[in-house]
């Protein structure tokens, strides 16, 4: 019914004004980028000890470009009475206990870096923060969204369908003028008055407090983006990425039926994830996005996965969670393997799931490693990409152990961090993160101001 009324137009072409020029980077300079890659349920710390010979095997081809950090503790993120799926997930990339169901206890590291390098906003045409992912569990926002503003609120809207992500990055906007110059002028007049009002409420005489002012400032930023896409950018229809196919998976509330989990095949899961990862990577390659986060399965994800899992030409496992668990509903989900983890057992189902997750994380990383930039390094090597998860042990019977040894891996960030190692860091996540954002040129530090900070120089190149 609303087709053609101005919703983000389906089949929209690439914007003509590519942001490469707007970025203003010198020929051999590369832009500062920071992305968080989250995967759900984690890798128990004892399995991390096996290095690339165990569940980390799919990351092995990228080992020279990664620093695997073991023994990183996130215990300070514990929120009493809530298990680590939520507090560990909200603490990933923020290192602080959650501030609410949809609020972190502080900013995420990608946003700290963004703020340091672009305090007045990204160049026109860029998406300030891109957040996407393939996930199903959604009882709390912190389970699946991993970019947070300084005040702990989400730094953007989660794009959970490939088409949504495509539209957010590449979509143009139909202002409803039909090319009529007079209509265009009048629409501009309306928008100008709207912009003026938002400017007033973000200005010195605004009656709003700081949190509210920031909120209205974000609104104004989105209006500017709308203005640019609706009135200032010409579009061309001959080039650019094709509109992705419509998603076949469940989304929204249907994807999380009362926390009871969904049935899904490995092929269904990976097909959509690959599309999401491809589009996200393309957005970065085209320099439309420099900051944000991507999620492969939520914290405490509940899926009943079936299908053959092959890697490197060999069959790793046959997923069939409900059958292997002999249960339906939430009790038949792969999530349960994490609860059943034991150092004394083989944990073959958990291993297979974790291995598969690493394969899919590697899929995304490889997309960013496909081409060299002006300095001879790939985007993967030039960016600060942090890969993490919610816990270092899936059993909910010791919150301290659950939030200890949380898997972390980072890329070199254009020579700032060591790579090619597996390191037992033995530090709090907050100190690791602060060392990282410091190396990226940010002055802001996570966590309480009074805290005695530890500089983790061992991770620096």
* Nearest C-alpha neighbor of 147 from the set 138, 157, 137: 157
Single out the residue of 53, 80, 313, 344 in contact with other proteins (rule: CB under 8 A): 80
Backbone torsions φ then ψ of 195, nearest 5 degrees: -60, -45
The secondary structure element, H or E, covering residue 182 is helix 181-202
The answer to whether residues 40 and 361 touch, using CB atoms and an 8 Å cutoff, is no
Length of the chain: 461
**Distance of closest approach, residue 23 Cβ to other proteins, in angstroms:** 20
Q: Which of residues 210-239 bind other proteins (CB under 8 A)?
A: 210-212, 215-216, 218-219, 222-223, 225-226, 229
Q: Is 197 exposed, middle or buried (0-12, 13-18, 19+ CB in 10 A)?
A: exposed
For residue 239, the number of C-alpha atoms closer than 13 Å in the C-beta half-sphere is 6
> Looking at beta carbons only, is 110 or 256 nearer to other proteins?
256
Q: Which of residues 296-355 bind other proteins (CB under 8 A)?
A: 327-331, 336, 339-340
State both tokens at 392.
């270092």
Single out the residue of 117, 396, 444, 453 in contact with other proteins (rule: CB under 8 A): 396
> Looking at beta carbons only, is 159 or 411 nearer to other proteins?
159
Which listed range, 13-21, 259-267, 277-285, 367-375, lies at the site for other proteins (CB under 8 A)?
259-267
**Distance of closest approach, residue 201 Cβ to other proteins, in angstroms:** 5
**Distance of closest approach, residue 334 Cβ to other proteins, in angstroms:** 14
Single out the residue of 6, 24, 121, 376 in contact with other proteins (rule: CB under 8 A): 6
Which listed range, 54-62, 97-105, 117-125, 360-368, lies at the site for other proteins (CB under 8 A)?
97-105
> Looking at beta carbons only, is 103 or 418 nearer to other proteins?
103
Distance CA 205, CA 443 (A): 28
Q: Is 184 in the site for other proteins (CB under 8 A)?
A: no
Q: Is 375 in the site for other proteins (CB under 8 A)?
A: no
Site map 20..59 versus other proteins, x via CB under 8 A: ----------------------------------------
Which listed range, 12-20, 76-84, 107-115, 233-241, lies at the site for other proteins (CB under 8 A)?
76-84
Distance CA 337, CA 436 (A): 33
- Alpha helical stretches, state H, 125-177: 162-170
Single out the residue of 201, 231, 309, 311 in contact with other proteins (rule: CB under 8 A): 201
The secondary structure element, H or E, covering residue 215 is helix 210-227
* Nearest C-alpha neighbor of 352 from the set 419, 306, 418: 306
**Distance of closest approach, residue 97 Cβ to other proteins, in angstroms:** 9
> Looking at beta carbons only, is 159 or 383 nearer to other proteins?
159
Maximum alpha-carbon separation in the chain:
75
Distances (CA, A) of 153 to 156, 193, 218: 9, 28, 12
The answer to whether residues 310 and 359 touch, using CB atoms and an 8 Å cutoff, is no
Interface size with other proteins, residues (CB under 8 A)? 83
């Amino acid at each position: 019914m609303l087709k053609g009324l101005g919703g983000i137009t389906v089949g929209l072409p690439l914007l003509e004004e590519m942001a490469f020029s707007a970025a203003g980077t010198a020929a051999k300079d590369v832009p500062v980028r920071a992305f968080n890659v989250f995967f759900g349920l984690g890798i128990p710390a004892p399995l991390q000890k096996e290095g690339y010979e165990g569940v980390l095997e799919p990351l092995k081809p990228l080992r020279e470009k990664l620093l695997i950090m073991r023994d990183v503790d996130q215990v300070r993120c514990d929120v009493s009475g809530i298990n680590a799926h939520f507090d560990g997930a909200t603490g990933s990339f923020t290192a602080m206990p959650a501030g609410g169901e949809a609020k972190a206890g502080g900013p995420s590291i990608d946003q700290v870096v963004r703020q340091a390098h672009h305090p007045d906003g990204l160049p026109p045409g860029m998406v300030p923060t891109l957040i996407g992912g393939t996930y199903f569990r959604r009882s709390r926002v912190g389970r699946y969204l991993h970019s947070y503003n300084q005040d702990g609120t989400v730094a953007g809207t989660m794009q959970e369908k490939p088409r949504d992500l495509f539209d957010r990055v590449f979509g143009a906007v139909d202002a409803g003028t039909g090319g009529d110059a007079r209509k265009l002028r009048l629409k501009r007049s309306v928008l100008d008055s709207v912009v003026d009002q938002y400017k007033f409420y973000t200005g010195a005489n605004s009656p709003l407090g700081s949190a509210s002012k920031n909120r209205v400032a974000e609104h104004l930023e989105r209006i500017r983006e709308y203005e640019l896409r609706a009135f200032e950018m010409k579009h061309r229809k001959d080039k650019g990425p094709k509109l992705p196919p419509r998603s076949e998976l469940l989304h929204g509330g249907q994807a999380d039926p009362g926390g009871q989990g969904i049935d899904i095949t490995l092929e269904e899961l990976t097909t959509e994830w690959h599309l999401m990862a491809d589009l996200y990577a393309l957005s970065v390659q085209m320099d439309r996005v420099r900051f944000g986060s991507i999620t492969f399965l939520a914290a405490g994800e509940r899926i009943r996965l079936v299908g053959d899992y092959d890697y490197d030409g060999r069959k790793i496992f046959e997923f069939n969670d409900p059958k292997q668990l002999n249960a339906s509903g939430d009790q038949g989900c792969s999530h349960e393997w994490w609860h059943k983890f034991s150092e004394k057992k083989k944990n073959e189902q958990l291993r297979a799931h974790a291995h598969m997750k690493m394969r899919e994380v590697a899929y995304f990383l490889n997309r960013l490693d496909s081409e060299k930039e002006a300095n001879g390094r790939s985007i993967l090597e030039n960016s600060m990409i942090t890969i993490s998860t919610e816990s270092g042990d899936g059993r909910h019977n010791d919150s301290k152990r659950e939030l200890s040894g949380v898997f972390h891996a980072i890329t070199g960030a254009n020579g700032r961090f060591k790579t090619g190692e597996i390191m037992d860091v033995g530090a709090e996540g907050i100190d690791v993160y602060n060392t990282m954002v410091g190396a990226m040129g940010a002055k802001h530090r996570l966590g309480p101001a009074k805290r005695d900070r530890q500089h983790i120089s061992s991770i620096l190149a």
